[in-house]
Amino acid sequence: RGGTLTKLDLQEFEGRVKEDFHLQEKTTESVRTELKGEIHSVRTELKEEIHSVRTELKGEIASLDRKIESVRTELKEEIDLSRREIREMETRMTLRFGLMLSAGLGLLLTLEKFLK
Q: What is the average pLDDT across 21-48?
A: 96
Quick check: is 21 in a domain? yes
Please state the domain count of the chain: 1
Residue 45, amino acid: E
Q: Which of 88, 112, 85 is nearest to 96 (CA)?
A: 88
pLDDT band at 3 (very low <50, low <70, confident <90, very high): low
For residue 57, give the amino acid letter. Answer: L
- Is the pTM above the cut of 0.85? no
Q: Residue 42 and residue 39: Cα distance in Å, rounded?
A: 5
Is 104 a domain residue? no
Give the list of residues 6+ apart from residue 13 with CB closer than 8 angstroms, or none. 5
Share of the chain above pLDDT 70, in %: 97
For residue 4, is pLDDT > 90? no
Tell me if 58 is assigned to some domain: yes
Residue-range definition of the domain harbouring residue 53: 7-85
The pLDDT value given to residue 112: 86
* 59 domain-assigned: yes
User: Across all residues in the chain, what is the average pLDDT?
Assistant: 93
Percent of the chain topping pLDDT 90: 79
SS3 94: helix
Q: How far apart are CA 84 and CA 86, in angstroms?
A: 5
* Cα separation, 78 vs 72, whole angstroms: 10
CA atoms within 13 A on the CB side of 27: 6
Q: What is the structure's pLDDT at 10?
A: 87
- On whether residue 105 sits in a domain, the answer given is no
Answer whether residue 92 is part of any domain.
no
